[in-house]
Amino acid sequence: MDNHADFRFNHARHSAAAALQPQHIPDFQRLVKDLRFGSRFQFLIAEFNDVPYREALIRQIDEVLAAEKLRSTRLVLSRETQPDFATVEADLRRLTAEYQAIHVIGGESWFDDARWQAFNIRREAVAQAVPLRLIFWLTTAPISRLAQLAPDLWAWRGGIFSFTVAAVPIYEAPVPRNDPVDPRPMAERSKRIATLRAYLQNSPADDLCLPLLNEMAELYFRLGDLDEALRILKQELLPLCEKLGNVCATAVTHGKIADILEARGELDEALRIREQEELPVYEKLGDVRLVAVVRGQIADILEARGELDVALRIRELEELPVYEKLGDVRSAAVTRSLIADILQARGELDVALRICKQEVLPVFEELGDVRSAAITRGKIAGILQARGELDEALRIREQEELPVYEGLGDTHSTALTRANIADILQARGERDIALCILEREVLPVLEKIGDMRNAAIVRDRIVTLQAQIAAQLTPTSSDNPPTCAD
C-alpha cells in the first residue's frame, strides 16, 4: 500500500469515527482496519443495543469501505424467508459475486440454539465458499449464547467490537387501551379541577363525593401531578369507600393507587397492591373480566421489572383466553398487541410483526377504531426499524400513522410520531432534517402539554444530533451551516 493510499484510508476512518461517541472510536477504527487489511473471509461480531446508533455505525463503516473500493451490503435475517441456516448460507454464497463485506442484521431474533449449532457445524464450509467479511450485529444475550453453544465457532471470531450505549428510555408512544382518551386541553382540565374543589368545599353527601373525588384524582393523574393524585386517593377517597362499605369501589381505588405507584417506579408496592388488595376482591365477586384486567396489570408490572417470560405466560394463559371466551374482540386484540410488545422486547421480531399485522390490525380496522389501528401501524413501523427496514418504517410513520393523529387533533401522539420519524431520519444519516423536526415540531409541543419525560428524551436526542453534525462539518462547510427547509 503506497503512502497516498495509506493517508487516504487513515483520514477516512478518523473522519468517520469523529461522528461517533468517544468511547467507541478505538473499536470502530480497529474494526475498519480489520475489514481493510484482514483476510477475505472474516467472522466479526459487533455488539449493539441501540438501533439508530447501529444504523449510524453501519453507514460510517460503509463510507470507509466504499473509499477503499470494497462493496458492502446487508443481509436481514427473517424466519419467514430463511427457515434454516442452509438458506442463509445460500444467500451468502449468492452475495459473494458482488460484495466483499456483509452486515448481518436481525440475528438476535433469528438465531436460536439449533441455528447457532448449525452454523457451528458448517463453519469450515462457509469459510471456504463465502470469501466475505461477515459483520454480525448482535445484542448482548445472543453473543453470550453463542459462546456457550458453539465454542468452536466462537473461537473462529475475528474480533468482538462493542458499540453499546447508555440505555436511553424510548418515547412513551400511545398504546391501544380500553379506557377513553381525554381530549380536553390542559387549561380546560385545570378549570374542571377548580370547579370540583369549589363544590367539595360545600361538604356534599358522601355518595356524591365519591365520583367527584375519583374524577379529581384522575384529572391530576392525567396532568402529571402524581403526588396530589395519590394524596386524594389515599387520604380522601379510600377512607370514604371504606366508610360506605363499598367493597368494589375500595378495590378500584386500590387499583388507581397502584397505577400511580407503577408510574413512579415503585413496582414492588404496586405489585403487592394488585395481588393482595385488588385481585382477591374481584375473584370473590366472581367478576372474571375484572380478574383478567388485573392479571394483565400484574403482567405490566412484571414486564417493567424485566420478568418477560412470566408476563408473557400471564398474557397468553390467564388474560387472553378470558376475553376470547367473553367474545370481547377488542380487549383480545389489545392483549395480543401487548403480547407482541413482550416478544419484541425478547428479540422475537418476526413473531411480533406477524401478530401485529395478522391478529391485531385487522380487528381494529374492522371495528373502525382508527386511533388503535394507527397505533398498531406505529408498532409495525417500530419492529421494521429494529429489523433495519428503515424506508418502509418511514413510509408507515409518515403516510399511515401521522395523518390519523393529525386528523384526530391528537397533538401529543402527533408529536411522538414526529419524534419517531426523526429517529428514522437520523438512522438514515439525514441528521439536519431530524434535528429540525425535534427542535421545531416536537420539543415545543411536549413542553406545552407538560410531557416532561419525553421532552427530556428529546433534548438528549437534540444534543446528540448537534454533536454529530458539528463533528462532520468541515471548515468550509461550517461557514454555511445546514438550515431547516421551510
Q: What digits encode the pLDDT tens for the residues 198-245?
A: 778 887 887 788 888 888 888 887 776 778 888 999 998 899 889 889
**Pair 457, 484 in one domain:** yes
Highest mean pLDDT among 193-202, 396-405, 446-455 belongs to: 396-405
pLDDT category at 481 given cuts 50, 70, 90 is very low
CATH code for the domain in which residue 17 is found: 3.40.50.300
Last-in-domain residue among 122, 145, 162 = 162
* pTM strictly above 0.85: no
Residues 242 and 137 in one domain: no
Q: Which residue carries 370481547 as its cell?
A: 328
Highest mean predicted confidence (pLDDT) among 14-18, 34-38, 117-121, 344-348 = 117-121
Q: Decide if 356 is inside a domain.
A: yes
Cβ count within 10 A of residue 11: 11
Greater confidence (196 vs 280) lies with 280
Question: For 78-102, what is the mean pLDDT?
Answer: 91
pLDDT-derived band at 475, boundaries 50, 70, 90: very low
Is 152 in the same domain as 177?
no
Query: In b/e form, how buried is each residue of 15-36, taking b as 16+ CB within 10 angstroms?
Result: bbbebbbeebbebbbebbebbb
pLDDT of 188 over the 70 cut:
yes
In a domain, 333, yes or no: no
pLDDT of residue 321: 97
Residues 68 and 177 in one domain: no
Mean pLDDT of 40-54: 84
- Chain centre distance of CA 183: 25
Return mean pLDDT, the chain.
84
Q: How many CA atoms lie within 13 A of 71 on its CB side?
A: 6
b vs e for 192-216, b when ≥16 Cβ sit within 10 Å of the residue's Cβ?
A: ebeeeeeeeeeeeeeeebbebbbeb
| Residue 306 within any structural domain of the chain | no
Residue 485 has pLDDT above 60, yes or no: no
Q: Are residues 186 and 263 in the same domain?
A: yes
pLDDT of residue 140 exceeding 80: no
Alpha-carbon Rg for the chain, nearest whole angstrom, is: 26
Same domain, yes or no, for 134 and 279? no
> Is 258 within the bounds of a domain?
yes
Residue-level pLDDT at 295: 96
Ramachandran class of 389: left when φ > 0, alpha when ψ lies in -120 to 50, beta otherwise? beta
Q: Are residues 279 and 426 in the same domain?
A: no
Rounded CA-CA distance 73/64 in Å is 13
Q: What is the mean pLDDT of residues 115-135?
A: 92
Q: Which of 25-34, 97-106, 261-270, 392-401 has the highest mean pLDDT?
A: 392-401
The reported pLDDT for the residue numbered 186 is: 62
In the predicted model, is pLDDT for residue 176 greater than 70? no
For residues 337-342, give the mean pLDDT.
92
46 CB-near residues (< 8 Å, 6+ apart) = 31, 54, 57, 135, 136, 137, 138, 160, 161, 163
Q: Please check whether residue 64 lies inside any domain of the structure.
A: yes
Least confident of 286-300, 322-336, 337-351: 337-351
Number of compact structural domains in the chain: 3
Whole-number pLDDT of residue 184? 61
Sequence-separated (6 or more) residues with CB below 8 Å from residue 95? 73, 75, 102, 132
Q: Give one DSSP letter per residue of 446-481, joined into a string.
A: HHHHT-HHHHHHHHHHHHHHHHHHHHH--TTGGGS-
Residues spanned by the domain of 139 = 3-162
Flag whether 231 is in a domain: yes
What is the pLDDT at residue 437? 96
Look up residue 337 and give its three cell numbers: 398487541
* Res. 169: pLDDT tops 80: no
Q: Assess whether pLDDT exceeds 90 at residue 393.
A: yes
